[in-house]
């Protein structure tokens, strides 16, 4: 893997940061993107102190030219891209009182869906040359509708459809497309979402601490994603609860709707 190159958006924290370690350990050259230059510098310094060197590019994936610049700089630096991981994303919970928030829908779609579209547009020609892997860190919310998450679900359903379409389109050209349906994972994005939302429909312990009780760690999620790339899997669903939810939705959709509604509504008084 010595000459292979991976690009990770949202690589300065959470699952993206954990993916850095997975690919460094496997001998990849690693490039990460993030909106925060300060966080990129910190990750670079931390890894350099451990004897590793990575390439960082400040990138706002909502801006098309930033996405182009990211790919251009990686190609200028390394000459190739073997794995591109669309990991950057944001989440949010809607309150019943506020109803549908159009501004939030646009913000979340701009990041989670159009950010993926724009990065993929510029990375795709290089991935076709290397017969590489295009990865989307999606969510169970991209397969099953969840209450108070219409904006987030819409963005992840869109990502799911977009990357699934590309998989079929380039099936005979060697492109590997991996969709990873990550369940609840303990990262700082949860606390940010909870602080930003008026909703009280959260899973138990959601956003209370960096390591939330019962949730998968970023490191665990990253290992599943890395193995999915390594084995060129079509999809990865690390969470047993997530797998059950998807199968229930396929086999007993009405029951699954009721269980999801009950789960969130019953937590309203305790959070």
CA 217 to chain centre: 14
Superfamily per CATH, domain 5-266? NAD(P)-binding Rossmann-like Domain (3.40.50.720)
Q: Which residues contact 16 (CB under 8 A, 6 or more apart)?
A: 8, 9, 10, 32, 34, 85, 87, 88
Least confidently predicted of 71-85, 144-158, 166-180: 144-158
pLDDT of residue 199 exceeding 60, the answer is no
Domain ranges for the chain: 5-266
> Using one digit for the tens of pLDDT, what is the confidence trace for 132-168?
999 999 998 888 888 889 999 999 999 999 999 999 9
- Which segment, 195-199, 209-213, 260-264, is predicted with the most confidence on average? 260-264
pLDDT of residue 230 exceeding 60, the answer is yes
Q: Which residues contact 103 (CB under 8 A, 6 or more apart)?
A: none
pLDDT of residue 194 exceeding 80, the answer is no
């Amino acid at each position: 893997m010595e000459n292979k190159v991976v690009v990770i958006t949202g690589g300065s924290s959470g699952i993206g940061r954990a993916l850095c370690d997975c690919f460094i350990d496997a001998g990849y050259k690693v490039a990460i993107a993030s909106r925060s230059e300060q966080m990129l510098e910190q990750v670079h310094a931390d890894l350099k102190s451990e004897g590793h060197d990575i390439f960082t590019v400040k990138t706002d994936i909502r801006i098309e030219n930033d996405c182009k610049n990211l790919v251009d700089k990686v190609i200028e630096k390394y000459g190739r891209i073997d794995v591109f991981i669309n990991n950057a994303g944001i989440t949010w919970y809607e309150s019943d009182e506020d109803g549908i928030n159009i501004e939030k829908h646009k913000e979340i779609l701009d990041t989670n869906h159009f950010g993926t579209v724009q990065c993929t547009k510029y990375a795709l020609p290089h991935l076709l040359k290397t017969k590489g892997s295009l990865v989307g860190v999606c969510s169970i919310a991209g397969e099953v509708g969840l209450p108070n998450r219409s904006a987030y679900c819409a963005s992840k359903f869109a990502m799911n459809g977009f990357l699934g379409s590309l998989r079929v389109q380039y099936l005979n050209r060697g492109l590997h497309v991996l969709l990873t349906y990550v369940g609840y994972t303990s990262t700082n994005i949860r606390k940010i979402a909870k602080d930003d939302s008026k909703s009280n429909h959260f899973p138990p312990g959601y956003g209370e601490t960096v390591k939330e009780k019962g949730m998968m760690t970023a490191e665990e999620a990253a290992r599943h994603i890395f193995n999915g790339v390594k084995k060129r899997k079509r999809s990865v669903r690390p969470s047993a609860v997530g797998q059950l939810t998807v199968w229930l939705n396929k086999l007993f959709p009405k029951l699954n709707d009721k269980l999801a509604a009950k789960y969130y509504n019953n937590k309203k008084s305790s959070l």
